[in-house]
Structures are given as structure tokens and as C-alpha cells.
Structure 1
Amino acid sequence: MRNKVLVVAIILLVCSSLTAQDWTNKFKEAQRVAQQEDKKVLLLFAGSDWCAPCMKLERFVLDTETFVTYASKNYVLVKADFPRKKKNQPPAYISEQNAALAEKYNPNGYFPLLVMLTSEGVKLGEIGYKKIATDAYINILKSWETR
């Protein structure tokens, strides 16, 4: 019995480490964590229920084990989602925060858009969806880290 419990615990641990990186929707909290952990903030502007390129970026890049592993060590991830369906709408305070973030960091309304920021909110770089490998995305992000 004890061996079965141990095996199940190990399987759960392995499976949980392979899941997608956690994205927060609280920008100020993310800045605080980034400052404490000496990380950059990676801000994603997405339309989760209508934007096909957003879905591709998440599926083929952001949810990959390679990206998740690298991002968890280097970034605090924030998702500013702009869903269209009523059932997917975030609370009003998150919608207001996302609108303010878009005004400041995505004034042209590009979707998807990944923006790298310092913990103080200084923009270091941005990229939309490109049909390139995860490693290529990571190399682009790395090039901004030293700015």
C-alpha cells in the first residue's frame, strides 16, 4: 500500500512539473515578485477566446516544456487577457488594469504581443506571434535581458 501511494505521489509531482507555466493577471503583484526575485516581467496581451495567433503562440511556444522551464527561472509572467465572450470576462478591476496596461505598453492593440519589462515597468522589448521555434523565441527574449 505504501509503495502505491509513493508511486502516485511521484507521478503527480512529475505531471505537475510538466504543466504550463502559471500566468498571473495581477500586474502590480507581479512587479513586486519580479523585484524580490530579481526577474523581468513578461507581459502577454492576448485574446484568449477569439485570437487564433494568440492560441498558436500559447500552444506552440508558451506552453512548451522548453519555454516553461526557461521562463520559470527568469520571468514573472503576466497575462492581460481581452476575451470577447461574456462568460470569459475577468472581474472589472482586472479589465480596468488590462486597459491601462494596453494604453501604456500596447497602444496599437496588437494581439498577441509579448512585452518584456523591468520590475519598474521599463519596456525592454516586444514581439508578436511568429512561426518560429520555441528556442528562437527564447533567444529573442535573452537578447532583451541585458538592456
Structure 2
Amino acid sequence: MKKIFLVLFLISFSMSNAQELIWHTDMNKASELSIKEKKPMLLFFTGSDWCGWCIRLQKEVLKTSEFGKWAKENVILVELDFPRRTAQDATIKAQNSQLQSIFQVRGYPTVWFVTPKKSDEGKMNLNGLGSTGYVAGGPEKWLAVADGIVSKKK
């Protein structure tokens, strides 16, 4: 009986850890949070309902406990989705298209790391630290690349 309880506890704990990650879709809110917490933003350009490599990156890296722990400590997560079959709010769609153009995203998945800075006029500027995409080898390999990019902020 104790073993069953322990297994159920561990399963629920690992599921709650994965569920705690917050992926923002509103760049204004994410930028404010990034400035407040002094963390760069991870911008995940994805085609969530059609891009095979995006789905693979999610499964192999972004939905792992290793990534979850790293993300909570290091970045503010922002999903910039370009779905084909899923309806999307017009404001979010326009925002995502504008950012796709600014960062010259030509393929998916693309992950940009940026730091926001508010100008004296109140305009938000994004400083690109670097980008990556799918990296084979699981969360360890992907996080090594991400750490190399995020360390430029420090």
C-alpha cells in the first residue's frame, strides 16, 4: 500500500511540476515581467498543430522536467504560434506576425532569447541575445546551447 501511495505521489508531483510552467502569449505582459524579474525572454516560434520538428522539440525538451527547472530559474517563456487548423485571436496573430518579421524567422521551430528594455518614451525595445532551433540529443544538449546564449546577458 505504501508503495502505491509513493508512486501516485511521485506521478502527481512530476505532473504538477510540468504544469507550473507558464507560456505567455502577450508580449507586453511578458516584457514587463521579464524586466521586473530581470530574466531574458525565450521566444518560441512554432507551428503547434502542423510543424513536426516543433512537436518533437516540445516532446523531447520543452515538456521535460529538466527544461522546466531550467526555465523557472532562467527565462520568461513566450509562445509565438502560427497554427494552421486552430483558431487564433486576431491581436495575437498580428503580434506574432510582426515579431516573425522583426526576427526574420524563416523556419520552425525557432527560439530567440531576448532582453526587453523600455525607452524613455515608453516604447519596448528587444535586444536579441541569439537563437537556436531543434537540437538533437535531448534536454541536456538543448539546454547547453540555451545556456551559452543566455549567458551573454550576464
CA separation in 1, counterparts of 2:20 and 2:57?
13
Amino acid at match of 1:132: G
Larger strand proportion of the pair:
2
Match of 2:46 in 1: 46
Match of 2:138 in 1: 133
Amino acid at match of 2:60: F
CA separation in 1, counterparts of 2:11 and 2:113?
34
Note if contact 2:136-2:142 (Cα within 8 Å) is conserved in structure 1.
no
CA separation in 2, counterparts of 1:9 and 1:16?
10
Note if contact 1:33-1:76 (Cα within 8 Å) is conserved in structure 2.
yes
TM-aligned CA deviation for residue 18 of structure 1: 3.4
CA separation in 2, counterparts of 1:129 and 1:20?
23
Distance 1:20-1:56 versus aligned 2 partners, 3 A rule? farther
Give the root-mean-square deviation of aligned CA atoms.
2.0
CA separation in 1, counterparts of 2:16 and 2:62?
16
Q: How many residues align?
A: 137
Unaligned stretches of 5+ in structure 2? 1-7, 118-125
Match of 2:59 in 1: 59
Distance 1:17-1:89 versus aligned 2 partners, 3 A rule? same
CA separation in 2, counterparts of 1:143 and 1:69?
17
Q: TM-score with structure 2 length normalisation?
A: 0.81
What stretches of structure 1 move > 4 A for 4+ residues in a row?
8-14
Amino acid at match of 1:36: K
Distance 1:80-1:70 versus aligned 2 partners, 3 A rule? same
SS in structure 2 at match of 1:111:
coil
TM-aligned CA deviation for residue 40 of structure 1: 0.6
Match of 1:69 in 2: 69
Unaligned stretches of 5+ in structure 1? 1-7
